[in-house]
Structure 1
């Protein structure tokens, strides 16, 4: 809007521009078709569709470069056009985005080189230039509110032992006011005395509930630490399978109580701050009877993908084979599910030349 106020556009063009801005998300991308925007502005008077297109092109000259694009392809093309004409590989990069976007997105580089008659070095250089562009140019200016999780318990290693401590900031020391408590007369049945007596009883119950809550939290956190010592020592890859009923049985409480005690409760560890529920995960049972945590398996998949060759990424079937070599038996669909959870695209989309 600040940049718009610096232009000398007509009132009609400014109205169109404001409407287009309203249909732009925090990343700088249009969220509606231009036809839909035209239907909105056409209600304000006799406006041609070409005028809406012209205003859009004007807005696309605003900073940051690439805003008001209708899709990723246009966003990247806008940024390429703003580069100096003598920028190395600019024309080849624009060719990829204009004519071979589908093959580029699918990682079919051999077909691109054959059809565009490019050498591998030319293609690498063009892809390298495209990778310098910003797919979300407006994101830099978007200030999202940050919420901080306050840990309920602290876990630290002291003299080779993992120690759990309650966060004193979330467990303040409360006590009954002796002055008010001393005002209660044992044999007095007046309304004022009964009022004080009832509130004293409520205050005692409240303090008892807080104490019980903190004791439960400490018991649960301590058992989690005992069970997940491997995670604290080695990370996600050493996470053990754990379910609520196991902790409930060990602390002799109902499973629903454990569920409430671990919801929105956080543990501060040397590896970061985690919700208590993070330490619970399903398990995969192997033919030999051994079990592996789904969290640990996901960590292994993440490691395998990070170590793969960009030219020949691992297929889900290959990951199944590699997991089997580490003693973990899972189905291919399970690997695909975990990969989706980790936001890792399929192998054909991970293929890269650079």
Structure 2
């Protein structure tokens, strides 16, 4: 076979570094975006953040002088020159307003700034004083040890009680048996089992009530015995339920309970009220769980002209090119390192503009199609898919998926992820479509208005939805009910 050289022309899609950065910034959440931005600010000296909280700090200049200038001067100067650039809300996302590489030596550093976003001023109702500091959270162990030091005098008893305290779990239960604890003690201590029982009884008398229990039944029993102002008959009936028939009570099998306990509905109802006052996890209140806060990317407000979509200015970073390094680059035109870093800074600013512009456009398209939701709530949600928004905005479906992931919208009905407004559809008898979100809202409304003595079954809910023109199967109702974390009909029944 003879070898030969041939020339062919072909086209292929290449992801440039700028496009890769744009895609990566688009799919990041607000928290991840600011973490990425901090890394880029550390690596690139040509980039600086105008809204840096350290800008108001006292700085030491190169000649030894002290500079205490705040960012107000820089902000005013940046705002004057930043008016030439389009805001993120009006940017078309193609980067047409970004300066060319040929303008790097003649343009001012504010030409590449992203600081034209106005800063929100504090209202008169906001506190201008010092921030309130949260007090230190006391643990369950510290709370119990403090009570032990006050009530127990003998050092030996204190040591045994502290030993049992160390064996408690986060909910305040004693997961180890006293036999195992006694077997792990050295023989030379000569600890008797009766001493451990006494120490456990002392611990179970501490606050919170129910701590040191070895089972749920014992935990509820301890609390019921310590509840004040309970009638003797009601207290005895409640103790009988939690100690002997807790499984029937959890299954809400009230008919069988009344037969076993030989009581009527009124007595059982009073005992149920007493049991509901108890806490199944007495030590949970001392567990310090960090709260997760979600910051919205866009805000929807009602105006005279309809629903208005605004970008949340508090999550929009204000960036610009560092003036000192820009001047150095102008004096040293042949420095390739500074030139590449300057180009990366310009890319980042442009991609940040495009990110927020894309989020705003997608949010506006969602609000336009879900106007009934903002007016009437979740029951008025219409079916919506990513393809519909993508065709409207002229974007790819994958881009819409990246924009709606971990991006949140603050509405008069609460905070929602942008993906919340997309959902499948269910056919109706008239040939139309109903959103699955609206059906879940209807199911929640029907269950919320049901008779607790005779709750609605999944089949009954499916029939009621069918009367409203929605063709939905019983298993679909069960799936939506479980997604709403609503218990089945047997667990919703009450006396």
Task: Give the corresponding residue for 2:164.
Answer: 17
Gaps of 5+ in 2: 1-144
Q: What's the TM-score, normalizing by structure 2?
A: 0.64
Deviation at 1:207, TM superposition (A): 0.8
Q: 2:392 aligns with which of 241, 250, 257?
A: 250
1:69 aligns with 2:201: no
Task: Give the corresponding residue for 1:101.
Answer: 246
Of stretches 287-296 and 308-317 in structure 1, the one that deviates more from structure 2 is 287-296
Q: 1:42 aligns with which of 172, 183, 194?
A: 183
Deviation at 1:83, TM superposition (A): 3.1
* Shift in CA distance, 346/127, structure 1 to aligned 2, threshold 3 Å: same
**In structure 2, C-alpha distance between the alignment counterparts of 1:278 and 1:2, rounded to whole Å:** 48
Deviation at 1:166, TM superposition (A): 0.9
* Shift in CA distance, 86/310, structure 1 to aligned 2, threshold 3 Å: closer
Kept in 1: contact 2:182–2:193 (CA 8 A) = no
Task: Give the corresponding residue for 2:442.
Answer: 300
Mapping of residues 1-354 of structure 1, within 5 Å: 1-6=145-150, 7=152, 8=154, 9-10=156-157, 13-14=160-161, 16-21=163-168, 24-25=169-170, 27-30=171-174, 32=175, 34-35=176-177, 38-39=179-180, 42-46=183-187, 52=196, 54-83=198-227, 87-88=231-232, 89-178=234-323, 180-185=325-330, 188-189=333-334, 193-286=335-428, 288-353=430-495
State which structure, 1 or 2, has the greater radius of gyration over its C-alpha atoms.
2
Q: Deviations 1:172-216 (Å, cap 9, x if unpaired)? A: 333334554354459943xxx222221221111111110110111
Q: What's the TM-score, normalizing by structure 1?
A: 0.87
Q: Secondary structure at the match of 1:175?
A: strand
* Shift in CA distance, 10/151, structure 1 to aligned 2, threshold 3 Å: same
Aligned residues: 344
Deviation at 1:223, TM superposition (A): 1.1
Kept in 2: contact 1:262–1:275 (CA 8 A) = yes
* Shift in CA distance, 16/173, structure 1 to aligned 2, threshold 3 Å: closer
Q: Which has the higher contact order (CA 8 A, sep 6+)?
A: 2
**In structure 2, C-alpha distance between the alignment counterparts of 1:64 and 1:321, rounded to whole Å:** 47
Kept in 2: contact 1:29–1:68 (CA 8 A) = yes
Q: Deviations 1:58-117 (Å, cap 9, x if unpaired)? A: 322211112233333222211111135963511111122223322222222222222322
**In structure 2, C-alpha distance between the alignment counterparts of 1:244 and 1:51, rounded to whole Å:** 68
Kept in 1: contact 2:300–2:410 (CA 8 A) = yes
Kept in 1: contact 2:429–2:469 (CA 8 A) = no
Kept in 2: contact 1:241–1:294 (CA 8 A) = yes
* Shift in CA distance, 343/28, structure 1 to aligned 2, threshold 3 Å: farther
Pairwise CA RMSD of aligned residues?
Answer: 2.6
Deviation at 1:11, TM superposition (A): 6.4
